[in-house]
Amino acid sequence: MVRVALVQTYHPYTQFTHVHPLGIMMIAAQARESGFTDVHLLDMKVEDWTPERCVDELVRLAPRIVGLSAMTYEAGCMHEVAKQVKERLPGAVVVCGGPHPSVAAEDVMKDPSVDLVVRGEGEMIFADVIAGVRDGREDWSECEGVSWRDANGTVVSNPDRPPPRELDELPFPAWDLIDHTKYHTVPRGGVIYAHKEFATMFSSRACPWRCTYCHNSYGKTFRERSAENVLGEIDLLVSRHGVREIVFMDDIFNFRPERAKKIARGIIDRGYQLKLTFPNGFRGDILDEELVLLLKQAGMYRCMVAVESAVPRIQKVMKKNLRIEKVRNIVDFIADQGILVHGAFMLGFPSETRAEMEATIDWAAASSFHTAAFFRVIPFKGTELFQQVEHAGFELPSDWSSYEPYQSDINLSEVGEQTIFRLRKRAYRRFYFNPRRLWRLFKLIPNKANMIPFLTLLFARRAYAR
């Protein structure tokens, strides 16, 4: 039997929130479905582990395969864990996957501690890797989606493996392999919560829009789980794991409105009295009022609508092409229903001027959003934005931790970095120093005893920290 340990790596960063490691949970579920049952999950973030502490646990488990998953800003941690694994478990096969290795495979393979990289959606690919290790495979040329070294030490990247199209055919995430109670005590993605007993869920993959700053982890072909499949997982979470709140992490939950409405109706019919939150996935200019009302009845108390910029020229620059007036109208409607609505904005797009940044801040301050975040534009590897700035001759940091999603020294705009820093601070103060907004927020915020002190701290970090 091949023992496998899957690790979600961790790099401390500004936005100290967490969700369940669904990537490695899906990998684990498919591995077991394929007959490899000796699988273990380690989440460094929820455990607050250093690389040394993580490798101590890996030494105890003594796996044959160690799989490391990383976002771009976690790459340093990933490589440190790989290095220590090779020192202390020299017989283990180290496999890297997830968003960063998928777009930077050749860079990752420069590390002699890494044996293989799994690129893209790795459920089936990783199951093939386990089978290959079990069988003593040394030539990986027939394994789609894998980067490896041949007998001469040359890095070879095999052709991509097409992503799974029928998501209903994949097993549910390996919910039984995590300690649910540990996730009850960490700040979660989206920050605000009604119940501590929550689960994170993807009901679809990919977004068909071509925003220049956005990841390509799932490609650009929208693929959905059926409403029945999603509701089946919710049944499991409620009945076996005591879940009372679902956090939907889809890039664009409302892309197929009828499917979304069917999910909402199914939750209503079950009478679970769940709370629902959507910290990622609504595109505002295609969101309809009927879906909002159904989701509210199903338990939605908070959602996020990403605007990025209120300036039409910048919308074209980023290729989002959002219809701003439609967004304003639906945000007003959501707020009128007594649902907390969060706005996401970005400052620092290529060629963006100070006047355009201030126009976005003005628009946000005048909107019906209850809460908002003002992020820096980051050119993550694998995005069109990254290619644009490379071709323009910008020198990008080689330290992957610089690509942390909430602060960066990378500046692509027409405005100096210190000015953007001050504008972001001013944006938070202007948005929140509004008695009417604060009263609206106070009335709707759930779990006030826990949430108000935490949100006050978070505001101070963003509006005053230097």
Domain membership of residue 51 (yes or no) is yes
* Residue at a domain's end among 157, 174, 209: 157
Do 262 and 343 share a domain, yes or no? yes
If asked whether residues 248 and 372 sit together in one domain, one would say yes
Task: Pick 382 or 407 by higher pLDDT.
Answer: 382
Query: pLDDT, tens digit, for every residue of 68-105?
Result: 999 988 999 999 999 999 999 999 999 999 999 999 99
Q: Is the residue at 175 inside a domain?
A: no
Domain that holds residue 431: 188-463
Query: Pick the residue with more confidence: 465 or 463?
Result: 463
Q: Do both 72 and 198 map to the same domain?
A: no
Residues 206 and 345 in one domain: yes
Q: Distance (Å, rounded) from C-alpha 97 to C-alpha 119?
A: 6
Are 240 and 385 found together in one domain? yes
The confidence score (pLDDT) of residue 64 equals: 98
Same domain as 148, residue 197: no
Of 157, 177, 207, which marks where a domain is finished? Answer: 157
Q: What is the pTM of this model?
A: 0.93
Residue 142 lies in a domain: yes
Residue 431: which CATH number?
Answer: 3.80.30.20
Please tell me whether residues 218 and 92 are part of one structural domain. Answer: no
Domain count, the chain: 2
17 domain residue, yes or no:
yes
Domain check: are 352 and 443 in the same one?
yes
pLDDT grade for 11, boundaries at 50, 70 and 90: confident
User: Do 164 and 121 contact (CB within 8 A), yes or no?
Assistant: yes
Q: State yes or no: pLDDT of 399 exceeds 80.
A: no
Buried b (16+ CB within 10 A) or exposed e, 149-183: eeeeeeeeebeebebeeebeebeebbbebbebeeb
| Residue 316 shares a structural domain with residue 399 | yes
Q: Is 64 domain-assigned?
A: yes
pLDDT for 176 beyond 90? yes
Q: Looking at the structure, do residues 148 and 285 belong to the same domain, yes or no?
A: no
* Burial bucket for residue 8 (CB in 10 Å: 0-12, 13-18, 19+): buried
For 271-311, the pLDDT digits (tens) are 999 999 999 879 999 999 999 999 999 999 999 999 999 99
The residue from 117, 139, 157 where one domain ends is: 157
Is residue 174 in some structural domain? no
Q: What average pLDDT is seen over the chain?
A: 92
- Residue 186: CB partners within 8 Å, gap ≥ 6? 17, 18, 45, 46
**What CATH number does the domain containing 101 carry?**
3.40.50.280
Residues 192 and 149 in one domain: no
Q: Does 162 fall in a domain?
A: no
Rounded Cα–Cα distance for residues 292 and 457 (Å) = 30
Confirm whether 340 is domain-assigned: yes
Same domain, 214 and 130: no
Q: What is the pLDDT of residues 427-447, one digit of tens each?
A: 999 999 999 999 999 999 998
